[in-house]
Amino acid sequence: MKVQARNIEAMPNAVEFKTDATLLLSDHVRVTLMRYFAQLDGHEATDLYAMVISEVEKPLIETVLEQCGHNQSKAAQVLGVSRSTLRKKMLQYGIE
């Protein structure tokens, strides 16, 4: 059973359901952000965009590199970035 994005707000614990594997990546992001805001306990969020991008970008790069046999040229092509951009991101995140 696939949980639709529009139903996520009504299901705050959706990630814990057995349907977890059928959620779209965007649904996981939405649920995680809802939990993040709930845990702020009245505090304001800052630099949210940078936080989310860094949380997604590092495992994205690591996984693509693994799938490409650590061939940086091929990984850069899969990611749609230049090899130099990939190298900069790898240095930024401490990926070897």
Each residue's pLDDT tens digit, 50-95: 999 989 999 999 999 999 999 999 999 999 999 999 999 999 999 9
In the prediction, which pLDDT does 61 show? 98
User: Are 15 and 31 in contact, with CB atoms under 8 Å apart?
Assistant: yes
Residue 55's φ and ψ, nearest 5 degrees, are -70, -30
Query: Which band of pLDDT confidence, cut at 50, 70 and 90, is reported for residue 3?
Result: very low
Each residue's pLDDT tens digit, 31-57: 999 999 999 988 898 999 999 998 999
In the prediction, which pLDDT does 25 show? 87
Q: What is the DSSP string of the chain?
A: -PPPGGGGGG-TTGGGSGGGGGS-HHHHHHHHHHHHHHHTTTPPP-SHHHHHHHHHHHHHHHHHHHHTTT-HHHHHHHHTS-HHHHHHHHHHHT--
Domains and CATH numbers, the chain: 5-39 (no CATH), 48-93 (1.10.10.60)
